Chains A and B, each alone.
Chain A
Amino acid sequence: MFNCEQVLAELASYLDDEVVAEIRQELEHHLAECKTCSVIYDSTRKTIRVVTDSGSFEIPEEVSARMTKRIMAKVRETSPPESKP
């Protein structure tokens, strides 16, 4: 059976659903028995959810439009892109 160290080592893959069946079985067996690892797993899973849904570093539409305008003005000052070889 996995110990807590082994669970932590495999946690990244498990969180991303990228573990093989044998490892998954070991992990789930351990998580069912170990309260500490179970809390770490569950709260890390929720961390990912909170981060993904947070809209962090998002910028307003008008800032995005302003950047595009600025960039295209610069681009038009330069020559056309290199032709495809």
Chain B
Amino acid sequence: MSYFPEIDRGLNFAPFQQLREHFGIVPGLFRSQTLRPEVIEAETELLEAILLRERSLRPEQKATIALVAAAARRNGYCVAMHYQRLRELGTREEDLLLLVELRDRVSSEQPEGAALLDFAKKLSLHAGTICRADFETLSARAIPDDQVLETLLVTALGVLLCTLATGLGVKADFDPPAPLPNWDGQPSTKYQLEPRPFTTGREAGAAQGPRLCTTEPDVGEFPPFDSLRLHFGFVPGFFQAQAQRTDVLTAEVRMLESLLFQDGPLSRLQRSCILLAVSAGHFNIYWVTLLSERLRILGLSEDETRAISRDHSKSHLSGPDKALLDAAIKLTTRPSDFSRLDIDRLGALGVHPEQVIECIATAALADFLHTLQAGLGTAPDFEAAWDYLPEVEPQETEALPDINNSNPFPDEFSLTNAALDSQAGMSTTDDPDSDLVLRVQQGEMNAFEELVNRHNRKIYRILLGITGKHEEAEDGVQETFLKAFEHMGSFKGRSRFSTWLIRIAMNAGVQRMRRSRNMESLDEGVGEDDETFRPRQLRAWTDDPEQLYSKEQRRSLVERGLKALPQKYRMAVILRDIEQLSTEEAAQALQLGVPALKSRLLRGRLMLREALAPYFARGQRGGEGV
């Protein structure tokens, strides 16, 4: 049980098979993310590389470190999970209870083990206070660097799992150890993760630099480094410092690819902003500097990046985007205050569950990167962006109830998706219809007639795209304008009038199709499977396809091709390429995020290309009848 619905991914879902092998079951922590299977895959790969596979530390030692990290952070779910695994691995119950209470276990017999646990405890709670002296303590006990690195990795992963468990609101799969207090969801006045100035910070000066001896990376022949070079322009020192663990680097880069480098339900920009805001919340100058550079590459202005980093409430982000950052910062700096209310608040602002899961996973990744970097002590790759750090601990801003109330049809196309509204970035000042709308609202009938004249062809084309029938389309146009007229008084101009009208039309079209039981799903989820489609027509097209056929013939070909497309792809192509809506407007009209719209649009265009290729490929004139 968690805050998110679980989707059956089938018995063959590889990450779940892996998890079953190690835990006996699939922990709820992962089942609660089934809306985002790619994220589960990346997390499981990281888990396997860091926690489950034996390297310089044995699985039992690693699970012990993870248990201590979870106990230090008072995370009941993770304590129960690691506790159960250690029990399976044969650890004595009385030792486990001592660990949960954060008391050293048989420290006289295993002083190096106790030293590593002390280190993990400190790192998991106050990563920012780790300093060279901590490493000297470990070195004095002759603990080799590869074991220290492994302890850093396991602790950072332990923190990531705690953040995930809190954010997802997942309930324990295993019986918790008897004396375990009910930590989760219990705000504690004692327990606050206080961001402190980072030790490789301004004051630390000469103390900057890697604290572990690492092998020289062979950066020339390592694909994850190629990926890092592609997205950052170089291989950041943070990754070079882990060069001896290529398995971990591969998993880390996979995680970055899944949560930072690619668009998903959240865009790359949104994810980068979450990472930046959380890193700033931790006062981690390394990641703040690197992510600022990343945002610069993505086209964000320096001023806006600085605002997001210092105090995102003063940035120009939309209300929902600010709320995502609020949630991520709260989750990572005040986890005991995080609750279902935070998830509900995002939902009320129109943020989809997939997007919320991504936000939580990205925040957890930020915690991992922060914890690990604080341990590694790598110096910033660029001149440190000190002026990007917040003056004080970032305060949660009140989430804005930025909900568009102008939706006449909440049951069909809820317009509560303020995220989409703000994506379009429009206001009435951009709207060429705003004067006419105002006049209609003041009772002027002729102004409405002008709006009908302006838009009825567009609405007809869209309805023909949905229904495929001229009579249905014509009736749908009438229905659309009558409903628009009826609700004109409640239209507040938060989107363009034409976009509002299109949504009414789409609603009317969908209802008509449902009535005739001929509805293909227009909304089959954001993570739709576009992977299986491959272009097959690979002959080059003629230079000037328009010269091959008359306009009437081209129109006939295109209409035929469009009608053959599945509806969800057809609508994306019609809105974007025929109606010439912007990407954001088309996404808004279809109630999709921009990445999902782009995905559908590409698929639609490629399918249409396949249909048209026999007529436009070189040497094909006359080969196919039109």
**Residues of A bordering B, CB below 8 Å:** 2, 8-9, 11-13, 15-16, 18, 20-22, 26, 36, 39-40, 42-44, 46-59, 63-64, 67-68, 70-72, 74-76, 78, 80-85
Known: A13-B598, A59-B457, A74-B482. A46 touches B616 (CB 8 A): yes
Do A85 and B490 have beta carbons less than 8 Å apart?
A: yes
Does chain A have a CB within 8 A of B443? Answer: yes
Do A51 and B443 have beta carbons less than 8 Å apart?
A: no
Do A53 and B297 have beta carbons less than 8 Å apart?
A: no
For B539, give the chain A residue with the smallest CB separation: A39
Known: A47-B608, A67-B460, A78-B486. A84 touches B441 (CB 8 A): yes
Do A55 and B555 have beta carbons less than 8 Å apart?
A: yes
Min C-beta distance of B345 to chain A, whole Å: 26
The segment out of B180-188, B191-199, B445-453 that lies at the interface is B445-453
Does chain A have a CB within 8 A of B114? Answer: no
The 3 closest A-B pairs by CB, nearest first: A82-B489, A12-B602, A81-B488
Does chain A have a CB within 8 A of B262? Answer: yes
Q: How large is the interface on B (under 10, 10 to 19, 20 to 34, 35 or more residues)?
A: 35 or more
Do A43 and B558 have beta carbons less than 8 Å apart?
A: no
Could you tell me the distance between the alpha carbons of A17 and B56 in the complex, rounded to whole angstroms? 49
Could you tell me the distance between the alpha carbons of A74 and B475 in the complex, rounded to whole angstroms? 12
Contact of B578 among A13, A22, A52, A81 (CB under 8 A): A52
Do A57 and B559 have beta carbons less than 8 Å apart?
A: yes
Contact of A22 among B233, B465, B541, B555 (CB under 8 A): B233
In the complex, which of the residues B456, B464, B574 has the most CB atoms of chain A within 10 Å of its own CB atom? B456
Min C-beta distance of A78 to chain B, whole Å: 7
Do A85 and B489 have beta carbons less than 8 Å apart?
A: yes
For A53, give the chain B residue with the smallest CB separation: B546
Could you tell me the distance between the alpha carbons of A76 and B583 in the complex, rounded to whole angstroms? 36
Does chain A have a CB within 8 A of B190? Answer: no
- For the residues of A in contact with B, the DSSP-based class is helix
Sample 11 A-B pairs with CB under 8 A, ordered by A number. Answer: A2-B230, A50-B546, A53-B546, A56-B461, A57-B460, A59-B457, A74-B482, A75-B445, A75-B448, A83-B441, A85-B489
Do A50 and B554 have beta carbons less than 8 Å apart?
A: yes
Do B541 and A71 have beta carbons less than 8 Å apart?
A: no
| Chain B residues near A70 (CB-CB < 8 A) | 478
Do A72 and B487 have beta carbons less than 8 Å apart?
A: no
Known: A67-B474, A71-B477, A81-B443. A50 touches B545 (CB 8 A): yes
| Chain A residues near B233 (CB-CB < 8 A) | 22
| Chain A residues near B540 (CB-CB < 8 A) | 39, 42-43
Do B489 and A71 have beta carbons less than 8 Å apart?
A: no
Contact of A82 among B465, B488, B539 (CB under 8 A): B488
Do B460 and A44 have beta carbons less than 8 Å apart?
A: no
Min C-beta distance of B131 to chain A, whole Å: 36
Do B541 and A42 have beta carbons less than 8 Å apart?
A: yes
Do B558 and A50 have beta carbons less than 8 Å apart?
A: yes
Could you tell me the distance between the alpha carbons of A64 and B453 in the complex, rounded to whole angstroms? 7
Do A75 and B551 have beta carbons less than 8 Å apart?
A: no
| Chain A residues near B562 (CB-CB < 8 A) | 51, 56
For A83, give the chain B residue with the smallest CB separation: B489
| Chain B residues near A56 (CB-CB < 8 A) | 461, 555, 558-559, 562, 578
Do B482 and A46 have beta carbons less than 8 Å apart?
A: no
Does chain A have a CB within 8 A of B440? Answer: yes
